[in-house]
Chain A
Amino acid sequence: MVRYVLRRLPSAVIVLFLASIAIFLLLRLSSGDPASVLAGPDAGADTVAAIRAGLGLDRPLPVQYLIWLRGILTGDLGDSYILHAPIAQLIGDSLVNTLELATGAILLAIAGGSVLGYLMATVRSRTVQNLLGAVTALGVAVPTYVTGVLLVLVFAVTYRVLPSGGVGPGLSDFQIGVQYLLMPAIALSLPTGATIARFLAASMRQTLDQDFIQAGVAKGLRHRRLMAAHVVPNALPPVTTVLGIQIGQLLGGAIIVETIFAWPGVGQLLLQAVTGRDYLLTQDLLLIAVAVFVVVQIVTDVVDAAIDPRIRLERA
């Protein structure tokens, strides 16, 4: 296995190297630069030129690229041109916030989706079935920027029971921190939760029709044991597959939720970096995203190979 991973490493390094060149060039080819932003609206060309020189942006592109590469290889991501803070610290802080939001949303989605899915599969009342079906359909269909704004209007503006935005004290004051987290996490979790509910309900209905379940009923198994030991475990695999896909989409949707709730996560940071042409910060963020993708690919391949010996043999 170790040999297999080692054999994958050269191609991973090549991918990262090519990605670094593409990211660097794409940013430099787009018009606008951080010196213009730093100089402000009425600055003259001489001021912009002086700022550009101060940032080292007047050097030849290959030199700028090599300086960046040397920084990455030595573990120094540099300082943001616009925010003037160490990039490692900026990314670290925003990553913690995004992970907090995403974790909250995923937990809510799993909890809410499981309960609703279970109810949809087991409640016999047609009215309740239709109601739950409509609720989950809405959850999937209504975009997060609509649910986010509605939540703010109801719970922050009208009833004033939750803060309208911001990240709060986080885990240092759990009771307050969770109130800041609640609305953005709910807004972000709704499509995922609704999707989980619909898939779980469909999968459970399918499982309930299976012969072995009917046999269990005929043998007099108690309802709770039948559901817990046979129906739910057999219905879960397709749901977990969908959950994996949904988590990716959820992270994408986090950018919108972060904007609505002024939640300072990675999405906000990237948006700010791109619009301000904060070259170094944008380059580092995008390269980290590519690196994460490459690592996930390697891990997936390793897991596949571990599960299925045919893959291992094929790649040997």
Chain B
Amino acid sequence: MSHHLRRAVAATGLAAILVTTGCTSAVSRQDDAGGGPSRGGTLHIVQGADVQPATLMSQNNPNFSLDRLVFNFLIQYDHKTLAPQPELATSWQVSPDGKSYTFTLRRGVTFHDGRALTAADVIADLKIIQRPEVASQVKGIAKQIATMTARGDDQVVITFKTALSNVFDLFLMMPIIDPATADQLFTGKKFNGTGPFVVQKYTPGQGFQLARNPKYWQKDRPYLDGVDISVVRDSQSMLSSLKSGQSQLALDLAPLDASTVKNDPAYQLVESDAHDSVSYVGYNVTVPLLSDKKVRQAISYAIDRDRILSQVLGGLGTTTSLPWAPSSPAYDESKRTFYRYDVAKATSMLRQAGATGKSVNVYYDSGFGPNNGLAEIIQFDLAAAGLKPQLQPLQASDFLSRLRSGGFDGMFLTGHGFGQLNPATLLGGAFPFNFAKNASSFDNPQYQTLAQKVWFAGGKPDPAALGEVNDFLLDQQFVSDLVTGSHTFAISSRLKGLSWTMLDYLDLDDAYLSQ
């Protein structure tokens, strides 16, 4: 190598090193921005999908970060008892007949634009949630409202047509938005809430920059100066972002990625105690093969839930046969393991039903990583029991469309939530179980009667009625629940004071970054 060439190579290498390490570092700049032990700093969050402003009135996973940071709710739930706790409503009274709810609003609460929150805003928000084009799992509850009256600026009286068991779920899930700018909110143009952070910048497809709300109603909160939410579509890249120190919180890493931070002291994997991420297989019960409940039961016995939990979900969760989380009044530990893996029993049941050797399509959203592993295990298990499963991977939008229209000519594999709230909300609001119309096209008068008994009950749900529902779900198996998981927060050890609501919405009122 000539002298000149050697000099050129050395100069190039030196320049590269100077660029990467010698100058101001993009990484250290972010670390510096981490702030002091209790106040200040910017929290960097990564999540796999962009926020969907159009669905902010419903529970939708991509919105978990933004919902409680920019907005507040009338109430929150105690995570163990589901007892309502004050947020924007400081107190409430329920009429003796269980039809009327009077909420007293917190004084001194203002929207980010400075306007004071009034009872009229709450009424206007309830009218928005009733609009046909506004999606919400609790729309059914809102539609049962007979009258709404404002008593001055601080009190609102809401009267329902009949007593319902899950009214508080409506107020847990409905963010208090500025009704005047609702249409701009749903198109991502303006975010005017009362929450601890104000939207500074929204770049569609890329993320949010939030700044501390200096007029937040909770004194001296939040501690953080700001929050940056970035969309990083690949779970591995989210993990890298966390491990490189570029972010301090990764929302819902793929289960196997999440399990890798479990044993690292520099990080913490926080599993939400809402336990509302349930993997299930559903069946189109109008398909001849699957119209026989014995076949559906056999399939439920054929699936090895423990293997799914350990090999696909990284051990994060518990196997289950029913949709309820431990916080639910309908949760029954003795029935949780009703369907245990028993391939001999499944084979025998399928033979008796004349289903052995029959083909069955299994549809799933292949864009959601864990589904691919889940589908392969189910394919293996069904084949072992004597069926001929055909996997049918679909893109998310295609899957959703077909799910909603009952367009699957076989089984479908996906997930549901709402097992952590009042049972009526799952039975009337979560599409797999909706007694009026569900993803399985399961139209059954007995189910409707049972679900309505839970739905139209004032006060606490009747344990006997819930027991009947559980027995019915186990017997009919139009949905076979497999594993109850949790939404996860993978956090840097620097992040302290992280909290979340019973809907898994991030609550950063008390969060701060330690040095």
Q: Interface on A for B, CB 8 Å cutoff?
A: 30-34, 36-51, 53-54, 80, 82-85, 90, 93, 111, 115, 118-119, 122-123, 128, 149, 152-153, 155-157, 160-166, 168, 175-176, 178-180, 182, 223-224, 259-262, 264, 268-269, 272, 274-277
Contact = CB atoms under 8 A, between A and B. Distances in A.
Given A36-B400, A164-B244, A152 B237 contact: yes
Contacts of A168: 26
Interface string B1-44: 11011001100100000011101111101100000000000000
Nearest to A44: B437
A179 B401 contact: no
Contacts of A165: 232, 237, 240-241, 246
B97 interface: no
Nearest to A125: B1
Given A37-B397, A83-B205, A84-B204, A259 B233 contact: yes
Contacts of B434: 42, 44
A84 B188 contact: yes
Given A42-B137, A44-B434, A85-B204, 9 more contacts: A31-B398, A82-B52, A118-B5, A123-B1, A149-B240, A165-B240, A180-B26, A268-B233, A276-B397
Closest 6 CB pairs of A and B: A32-B397, A83-B204, A50-B133, A32-B398, A156-B244, A50-B132
B328 interface: no
Nearest to B133: A50
Interface string B264-303: 0000000000000000000000000000000000000000
A165 B55 CA distance: 28
Given A182-B20, A259-B233, A43 B135 contact: yes
B58 interface: yes
Nearest to B61: A41
B396 A37 contact: yes
A38 B244 CA distance: 34
B231 interface: yes
Contacts of A264: 203, 205-206
A270 to B, nearest CB: 11
Contacts of B58: 40, 42-43
Interface residues of B, number: 70
Contacts of A272: 50, 205
Contacts of B405: 45
Given A161-B25, A164-B240, A176-B24, A40 B30 contact: no
B401 A33 contact: yes
Interface string B43-76: 0001000101111001110000000000000000
A54 B133 CA distance: 8
A33 B244 contact: no
A164 B246 contact: yes
A84 B189 contact: yes
B45 to A, nearest CB: 13
Contacts, number: 198
A275 B233 CA distance: 12
Contact of B231 (A84, A260, A262): A262
22 contacts: A31-B402, A32-B401, A37-B52, A39-B54, A39-B135, A42-B58, A43-B404, A44-B139, A45-B437, A47-B135, A49-B132, A54-B133, A90-B204, A119-B1, A119-B5, A152-B237, A157-B243, A160-B27, A160-B245, A165-B237, A179-B20, A262-B231
A30 B399 CA distance: 12
B237 A262 contact: yes
A43 B60 CA distance: 11
B133 A51 contact: yes
A155 to B, nearest CB: 7
Contacts of B240: 149, 152-153, 156-157, 164-165
B367 interface: yes
B205 A36 contact: no
A48 B26 contact: no
B179 interface: no
Contacts of B341: none
A45 B401 CA distance: 10
B204 A80 contact: yes
Nearest to A179: B26
Contact of A47 (B9, B134, B237, B243): B134
A40 B236 CA distance: 25
A268 B437 contact: no
Interface in B116-131: 131
Contacts of B46: 262
B135 A179 contact: no
A39 B82 CA distance: 27
B430 interface: yes
Contacts of A50: 131-133
B246 A163 contact: yes
Contacts of A274: 395
B422 interface: no
B429 interface: yes
A38 B26 contact: no
Given A32-B398, A40-B135, A262 B232 contact: yes
B187 interface: yes
Given A164-B240, A176-B29, A38 B52 contact: yes
Interface in B228-253: 230-234, 236-237, 240-241, 243-246
A164 B241 contact: yes
Contact of A262 (B233, B396, B397): B233
Given A165-B232, A166-B246, A46 B237 contact: no
Interface string B188-217: 110000000000000111100000000000
B133 A45 contact: no
A250 to B, nearest CB: 20
Interface centre among A40, A54, A93, A262 (most CB of B within 10 A): A40
Contact of B395 (A53, A157, A261, A275): A275
B135 A34 contact: no
Contacts of A80: 204
Contacts of B402: 31-32
A223 B2 contact: yes
A49 B400 CA distance: 14
B160 interface: no
Interface string B413-450: 00000000000000001110010010000000000000
B404 A33 contact: no
A275 B205 contact: no
Contacts of A162: 20, 26-27
A287 B133 CA distance: 31
Nearest to B29: A176
B241 A42 contact: no
A132 B234 CA distance: 33
B204 A156 contact: no
A83 B20 contact: no
B172 to A, nearest CB: 15
Contacts of A93: 203
Contacts of A83: 50, 188, 204-205
Contact of A40 (B60, B230, B246): B60
Contact of A275 (B24, B241, B367): B367
Interface centre among B23, B243, B397 (most CB of A within 10 A): B397
